[in-house]
Amino acid sequence: MTNVAIVGASGYTGGELLRMLLNHPEVEVTEITSRQYDGVEAHKIHPHIRDSGLVFKNKQPSELEADIVFTATPHGASMKIVPDILETGAKVIDLSGDYRYKSRDVYEKWYGMEHTSDAEAVYGLPEIYRDEIKKANLVANPGCFPTGAILSSYPLIKNNIVDRIVIDSKTGVSGAGVNPSETTHYPNIADNVNPYKISTHRHMSEIQQELKGFEGVKVSFTPHLVPVIRGIQTTSHSFLNEENEDITPEEIRELYQKEYGDEYFIKIMDEGEIPHLSSVRGSNFAHIGGFEIDETGRLVMLSVIDNLVKGASGQAIHNMNILLGLPEQTGLTHFGLHP
């Protein structure tokens, strides 16, 4: 049995890690940390997690005794905690943005703070980086918007099909974490669709990093907050390049099937089938559909994920399975909560 610990376990992604890890057959959750709930039983904060026997402790990172540690902490906090955990010999999966960037300058520009850690990480998108993840000591779990956006566009970029991608995403409110704010206050979000940071959301830089690795494609991104609790629906409008203006939807679909055919967590929708948030809620699956091209040469692709699962904690457990050499779907096979 592998011992795992969760730092920041009182938050939303920490709660999701607990929900899934407590049913994982190959690991035991031995420690959960919280600064504000020291000595409090897990179910007092996460009422759905009963009989775990776990109690939050306000422990220093260097005092943790575990083989794998998840840091479910805000950006800025993770980079202060992770180096001390690595010193203990544990492998770390960090859920924040702190270790996702190849360039420190890009991180500092988009996150507006100095980056103070030299620890080296692998970008933890298993469908693309599994060989690197296997050897990593530190895995940077991808952002929630980037997960859905990158997966739904990667085959287009890899095969050099388009020269511009405009990504439009709708997210549920749990993406903002457990602490309430004016933006997430019920009267401000209910019965409403709220575009925000329409050209400046920091996840755009992460999406660009991963998709612009193949030169020459312009990638832009606009998020919207919608009154649902979980889930991210992404619509991407991609514009075919000159060499591919005659490509057919069937040929695009074949590219996706070739790229993702063996991927357990990616489901390619049948022709005419629209992916729905309710199909993936609570699960680690990404549903990808669309595959329609209009008369202007615009290809419309759609994807849905649960921001707290495939977009965070489920993907983190997928990364853990890879680090431990386990079958990748271990503990993650449950379907979504439709309706």
144 is catalytic: yes
Residue whose CB is less far from ligand NAP, 146 or 290: 146
Question: Per CB under 6 A, does 238 bind ligand NAP?
Answer: no
| Size of interface with ligand NAP, in residues (CB under 6 A) | 28
For residues 249-288, which are near ligand NAP according to CB under 6 A? none
Distant-in-sequence, close-in-space partners of 230: CB < 8 Å, separation ≥ 6:
172, 174, 277, 281, 282, 306, 307, 308
Question: Per CB under 6 A, does 311 bind ligand NAP?
Answer: yes
Residue 275, preceding bond cis, omega within 30 degrees? Answer: no
Question: Which range touches ligand NAP (CB under 6 A), out of 11-19, 207-215, 269-277, 317-325?
Answer: 11-19
Closest listed residue to residue 309, CA positions, set 329, 291, 339, 289: 329
Distant-in-sequence, close-in-space partners of 207: CB < 8 Å, separation ≥ 6:
145, 146, 149, 150, 167, 219, 221
Question: Per CB under 6 A, does 73 bind ligand NAP?
Answer: yes
Q: Are 302 and 276 in contact (CB under 8 A)?
A: no
How is the beta sheet containing 194-195 ordered, strand by strand?
194-195, 218-225, 162-171, 232-240, 298-305, 286-293, 266-268
Chain residue whose CB lies nearest ligand NAP: 11
For residues 81-100, which are near ligand NAP according to CB under 6 A? 95-96
Q: Are 138 and 102 in contact (CB under 8 A)?
A: no
The continuous run of DSSP H or E covering 72 comes out as: none
Residue whose CB is less far from ligand NAP, 55 or 77: 77
Question: Per CB under 6 A, does 197 bind ligand NAP?
Answer: no
Q: Are 301 and 291 in contact (CB under 8 A)?
A: yes
Give the active site residue among 136, 144, 150, 302. Answer: 144
Question: Which range touches ligand NAP (CB under 6 A), out of 68-76, 121-129, 156-164, 324-332?
Answer: 68-76
For residues 110-169, which are near ligand NAP according to CB under 6 A? 143-144
Question: Per CB under 6 A, does 331 bind ligand NAP?
Answer: no
Residue whose CB is less far from ligand NAP, 98 or 259: 98
The continuous run of DSSP H or E covering 146 comes out as: helix 144-158
Which residues participate in catalysis according to the annotation? 144
Q: Which residues bind ligand NAP (CB under 6 A)?
A: 8, 10-14, 34-37, 72-75, 77, 95-96, 143-144, 174-175, 177-179, 307-308, 311-312
